[in-house]
Amino acid sequence: MASRKELEEKESKHRKKIKHSKLELENRPTGQRSAIALRYDVEKDAAPVILAAGRGDFAEDILRIAEDHKIPFYEDSGLADLLLKLEISTEVPAELYTLIAEVLAFIFRLDQMAAKREKLYKRVREMDSEDDE
């Protein structure tokens, strides 16, 4: 187990990284969209993996492909800017797990709502077919 001093040093390093990241984020081009595609397979991946990332036209391509495949979007420009600094095919670092957990929770809720909606549609179709008989 880490000592209190080690934990404080680690926290100080993270705060410096965050401060540096904030400065870089303020210098990003305005009006240009960013997009990152992540994969997280609980059985295969130790952490979420970056599949694609880009700005401008490439970001639009990523978003179009996601929309075509009914993959949900989660908008967070600050998180996108942080993830854009990472290499493709790398795992998201532990420092970003809390932020990524919010994304995964959002997607989980969407999946739950979609399942409920599908059950409802199924019941309505069954009721319609009973009425036709």
Domain parsing of the chain, residue ranges? 1-29, 31-132
Return the structure tokens found at 22. Answer: 């904030």
- Look at residues 83, 78, 27 and name the one whose alpha carbon lies nearest to residue 52: 83
Tell me what the mean pLDDT of segment 70-75 comes to. Answer: 83
Q: What is the pLDDT of residue 84?
A: 92
**Can you say how many angstroms the Cα of residue 126 is from the centroid of all Cα atoms in its chain?**
36
Return the structure tokens found at 106. Answer: 């959002």
The whole-angstrom separation of Cα 36 and Cα 83 is 7
**11: pLDDT confidence band, cut at 50, 70 and 90?**
low
The whole-angstrom separation of Cα 29 and Cα 37 is 20
**Quick one: what percent of the chain has pLDDT higher than 90?**
17
CATH superfamily assigned to domain 31-132? secretion proteins EscU (3.40.1690.10)
Q: What is the pLDDT of residue 14?
A: 54
Q: What is the pLDDT of residue 23?
A: 45
Beta strands in 1-133 (DSSP E): 34-39, 49-55
Q: Give yes or no for a contact between 49 and 71, defined as CB atoms under 8 angstroms apart.
A: no
The whole-angstrom separation of Cα 104 and Cα 74 is 9
Nearest 5°: CA angle at 25, between 66 and 69? 0
- Structure confidence by residue, pLDDT tens digits, 50-69: 999 999 899 999 999 988 98
**21: pLDDT confidence band, cut at 50, 70 and 90?**
very low
